[in-house]
Amino acid sequence: MRGRLLRGGLLVLALSVMVTGCWDAKELEQMIYLNALGFDYKDGEYTTYAQIVNFSNLGKQEGGARMPEEVWVGRGYGSTIDIATDNLYPSSQQRISWAHVKGVVLSEAALKTGQYDEMFDSFNRYPEIRHEMSFYATKESLEKLLTAKPILNQSAFYTRLINPKDIYRQYSLIKPLTIRELGKYLHEPASTMAVPFLRVNSERWKANEKGHPVMEVDGAAFVKNKKYKGSLDRVKLIGMRWVQKGSSRAPVYLRNEKGPVGVLALLKPKCKIKYRIVDGKPRFSLQIKASGPVIERIQAVDEKELIKLGTKKVEEEVRGLYREGLAIQADVLGLEETLYRKDPKLWKKLTKGGDLPLDEQMLENIEVKVKLVSTGKMKLNSFY
């Protein structure tokens, strides 16, 4: 009898210990989960914009329908980022969780300050923050940008700010950036960092003939040694896809004197940069290789002609990108970094603690090799 009582007592004690482990747990609805953060800077003060995610629209609702979602954005002020974020607490109705922040966006004004170490010091110290969150900049109002919603009544969890990689794999133009990569580029003396710009577009998508504002990538800013070099819009940056690492799929629209010819989808292009020294100055050459299928063919041209037009188009886009970079004195092709990696002593001599001087002659040659691997489900010269 005493043995049974002893075993029963031990069981009760064990269960009570297990239960106490959950006493401080919070229910989902008792927390505020931040999804994205925006930072602006004006007159020596930061403004923090905090977007809240609504988990109710993350999963499929009963019957497959999603209810329209309201996007909530809080705002705090302070002389530092931490003070500005702490300024959210007095008006918060529940505990705020920082563990699920997936994206950060800076205003152009904040980007121009160059105070990146100061801005992101608390990010590196606070244990809830993860460094793989995406990083963007914008010329738009941060409040307007963070209240833009995806189509189909999806959660704010599915915006371009939070989920950039899937679209980049399908259409590679300006490579997404993470907070971790930001820290790496900022402390590399020869690296020029491209920060993607976001804007709000209310014309591309409509619901019941009414424009629906969504986020889109609309160019990039270039930063080197924490200094803002300038920005270029999306059209001027079309050549970026051939020189940046990680490009996955890049459509090439071919034309001749008669008009549109066809479309190639070049996959995983590779770019190799070489240099030689002429009269004490570096001269760079690029070798670009890409292959992919024919997506569309309008004119009756052969494979050789498609390759010729594709090769010419890629070279034109890269040279055009370099010229746009010269206009803002930004090393958009990453030429200086190549010299720095291969010969740091020569790099130091040529830069003298500053930037490598850029000119038209520095980009000497671009060699492009395009290979067609498929014509799709039809032969090249087939028509309906």
pLDDT at 352: 86
pLDDT classification of 176: cutoffs 50, 70, 90: very high
User: Residue 62, Cβ neighbours under 10 Å: how many?
Assistant: 5
**pLDDT tens, position by position, 121-173:** 888 888 888 888 999 999 999 999 999 988 888 888 889 999 899 999 999 99
pTM for this predicted structure: 0.87
Domains and CATH numbers, the chain: 29-233 (no CATH), 235-384 (3.30.300.210)
Specify the pLDDT at position 36.
96
Residues 49, 55, 57: CA angle, nearest 5 degrees: 110
Whose tokens are 């919603």? That residue is 149
CA max distance for the chain: 101
| Cβ–Cβ under 8 Å, residues 262 and 296 | yes
What is residue 60's predicted lDDT score, i.e. its pLDDT? 54
Q: How confident is the model at residue 344 (pLDDT cuts 50, 70, 90)?
A: very high
- Condensed to tens digits (0 to 9), the pLDDT of residues 369-384 reads 999 999 887 888 766 5
**Lowest-confidence range among 6-15, 65-74, 306-315?**
6-15
**By C-alpha distance, which of 251, 250, 286, 289 is closest to 270?**
289
Report the DSSP beta bridge partners of residue 33. Answer: 97
- Render pLDDT for 79-109 as a digit per residue (tens, 0 to 9): 999 999 999 999 998 999 998 899 999 999 9
Q: Which of 73, 77, 71 is nearest to 57 (CA)?
A: 71
The yes-or-no verdict on residue 69 having pLDDT over 80 is: no
Write the burial class of residue 294 (CB in 10 Å: 0-12 exposed, 13-18 middle, 19+ buried).
buried
Q: Give the per-residue pLDDT at 44.
A: 92
**Averaged pLDDT score across all residues of the chain:** 88
Q: How confident is the model at residue 65 (pLDDT cuts 50, 70, 90)?
A: low
Distance CA 314, CA 320 (A): 10
Neighbours of 249 (CB within 10 A): 16
Give the residue from 127, 75, 128 showing the smallest Cα distance to 98. 128
The amino acid that residue 168 corresponds to is: Y
Q: Strands 227-232, 192-201: parallel, antiparallel or unpaired by DSSP?
A: unpaired
- Both tokens of residue 316? 């034109």
- Please give the pLDDT value at position 1: 52
Write down the pLDDT at residue 205: 93
pLDDT tens string 206-259: 988 899 999 999 999 999 999 999 999 999 999 999 999 999 999 999 999 999
Give the pLDDT score at 326. 96
Sign for the pseudo-dihedral over CA of 163, 184, 74, 32: positive
* pLDDT value for 376: 81
Helix (H) or strand (E) holding 340: helix 335-342
Residue 79 near residue 122, CB atoms below 8 Å: no
- Phi, psi for 3 (deg, rounded to 5): -65, -40
